[in-house]
C-alpha cells in the first residue's frame, strides 16, 4: 500500500497539467508553506534567519531538476549565486545545495561543469572575503549520474571550491566512493537515496539499505575519519538509525557539533527540536522557488500522514 501511495504522489509530481493547476491554486499555498521556504531568495533567507535564531542551520536549495531548457539552466545558476550572496549579507553560513541536472548535465556535461565552477568561484570569493565555513553541497541523483557527479566534485575541489558530496546508502558502490573522501578529510552527507531501482548496482529492501547506511556511518564516524578532519552529516529522519548513529559517534570519540544531522524543512519538526535540545547539530534542507509543487507532493508521498494537507489543497478553491 505504501508503494502504491508513493507511486500516486510521483505521478502527481511529474504531471505538467497537475503542476500548473496546483501552483495556481490558492489552497495549495498551505501545502507549499509546510515544506518550502518561499518563492524567492529573500523569503528563503528570512526563514533561514528565523531558523538560525531557533538553533537550526540551513542548506538553501533552489527548486528545479532535470532541466533541459538552457534559459532555465542559466536561471538556476543565477539563483544559486544569489542564495550564497544573500546568506553572506545576512551573516549566515553559506550552505547551498544543487543538482548537476539543474546546471545543465541533462544537456551537456562540460557546460554544466562550467556553470558549477562559476557558482563555486563566487562562493570561494565570499569565503576569501571573510565568510566562515562556506559549503557547496553536491546532491546525488540517479545511478546514471553517479560517476559524472563524483567527477564534478573532483573538478570543483581542484579549483579550490569548498565542495561537499552527498552519497546514497542504497547503492552498493557507496563504501568505495566514500573511502577517498574520508582520506581527503572532506565532507559527506549520507542519505538513504530516493532513486532506488531494481538494477544490480542497488540494494533491495529497507533492511538491506538500513544495514548499509549504518555500515557507512561507521566508516564516517571512525577514529580514523576523525583524525583526517572528515566532516560527517547524516541525512535521515529514521527513529531507528538516529540513536545508532549517535552511539557510533560516542564510540568513535566524536563530540557534539563535530558531526551533524540534516533533515527536510517541515518534515518531523518535533524530532528536529528534540535533537537540537539534546545538543545535536541539526541542519534543515530549505528549498525555495516557484517550482514547488513537485517537491512538496513528494514530501507528502513519503508520509501518508500528510495526506490531509494534500486533500485540502486538492479540494480547495
Query: What are 210-227's pLDDT values in tens digits?
Result: 999 999 999 999 999 999
Helical ranges in the chain per DSSP H: 2-14, 16-23, 29-35, 41-53, 70-89, 109-128, 146-158, 174-184, 206-220, 223-227, 241-251, 269-277, 293-301, 307-315
Spatial separation of the C-alpha atoms in residues 247 and 104, rounded to whole Å: 41
Q: Which residue has the cell 541536472?
A: 101
Look at residue 307 in the predicted model and tell me its pLDDT. 57
DSSP conformation class of 170 = T
Look at residue 293 in the predicted model and tell me its pLDDT. 65
Look at residue 28 in the predicted model and tell me its pLDDT. 57
Look at residue 2 in the predicted model and tell me its pLDDT. 46
Look at residue 13 in the predicted model and tell me its pLDDT. 54
Spatial separation of the C-alpha atoms in residues 163 and 153, rounded to whole Å: 7
Spatial separation of the C-alpha atoms in residues 232 and 229, rounded to whole Å: 10
> Binning pLDDT at 50, 70 and 90, where does residue 65 land?
confident
Tell whether pTM > 0.85: yes
End-to-end alpha carbon distance in the chain: 29
Query: What are 188-247's pLDDT values in tens digits?
Result: 999 998 765 767 889 988 899 999 999 999 999 999 999 999 999 999 999 999 999 999
> C-alpha grid cell for residue 200?
544490480
Spatial separation of the C-alpha atoms in residues 95 and 69, rounded to whole Å: 26
Regarding predicted confidence, which is higher, 257 or 131? 257
Query: What are 114-158's pLDDT values in tens digits?
Result: 999 999 999 999 999 888 899 999 999 888 899 999 999 999 999
**Residues 33 and 309: beta-carbon distance below 8 Å:** no
Regarding predicted confidence, which is higher, 292 or 10? 292
Residue 26, sorted as left (phi over 0), alpha (psi -120 to 50) or beta, turns out to be: alpha
Amino acid at each position: 500500500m505504501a508503494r502504491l501511495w508513493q507511486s500516486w504522489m510521483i505521478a502527481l509530481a511529474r504531471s505538467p497539467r497537475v503542476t500548473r493547476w496546483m501552483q495556481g491554486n490558492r489552497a495549495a499555498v498551505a501545502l507549499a508553506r509546510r515544506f518550502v521556504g518561499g518563492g524567492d531568495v529573500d523569503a528563503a533567507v528570512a526563514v533561514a534567519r528565523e531558523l538560525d535564531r531557533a538553533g537550526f542551520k540551513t542548506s538553501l536549495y533552489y527548486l528545479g531538476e532535470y532541466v533541459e531548457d538552457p534559459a532555465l539552466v542559466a536561471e538556476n545558476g543565477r539563483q544559486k549565486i544569489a542564495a550564497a550572496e544573500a546568506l553572506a549579507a545576512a551573516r549566515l553560513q553559506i550552505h547551498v545545495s544543487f543538482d548537476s541536472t539543474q546546471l545543465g548535465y541533462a544537456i551537456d556535461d562540460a557546460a554544466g561543469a562550467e556553470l558549477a565552477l562559476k557558482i563555486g568561484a563566487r562562493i570561494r570569493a565570499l569565503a576569501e572575503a571573510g565568510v566562515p565555513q562556506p559549503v557547496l553541497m553536491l546532491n546525488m541523483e540517479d545511478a546514471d549520474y553517479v560517476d559524472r557527479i563524483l567527477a564534478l566534485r573532483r573538478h570543483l575541489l581542484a579549483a579550490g571550491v569548498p565542495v561537499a558530496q552527498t552519497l546514497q546508502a542504497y547503492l552498493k558502490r557507496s563504501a568505495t566512493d566514500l573511502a577517498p573522501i574520508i582520506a581527503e578529510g572532506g565532507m559527506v552527507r549520507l542519505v538513504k537515496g530516493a532513486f532506488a531501482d531494481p538494477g544490480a548496482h542497488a540494494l533491495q529492501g529497507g533492511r538491506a539499505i538500513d544495514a548499509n547506511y549504518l555500515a557507512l556511518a561507521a566508516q564516517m564516524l571512525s577514529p580514523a575519519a576523525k583524525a583526517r578532519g572528515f566532516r560527517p552529516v547524516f541525512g535521515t529522519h529514521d527513529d531507528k538509525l538516529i540513536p545508532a548513529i549517535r552511539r557510533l559517534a560516542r564510540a568513535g570519540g566524536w563530540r557534539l557539533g563535530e558531526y551533524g544531522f540534516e533533515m527536510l524543512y517541515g518534515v518531523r519538526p518535533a524530532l528536529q527540536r528534540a535533537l537540537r535540545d539534546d545538543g545535536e547539530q541539526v541542519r534543515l534542507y530549505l528549498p525555495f522557488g516557484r517550482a514547488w509543487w513537485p517537491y512538496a507532493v513528494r514530501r507528502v508521498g513519503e508520509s501518508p500522514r500528510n495526506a490531509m494537507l494534500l486533500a485540502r489543497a486538492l479540494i480547495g478553491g
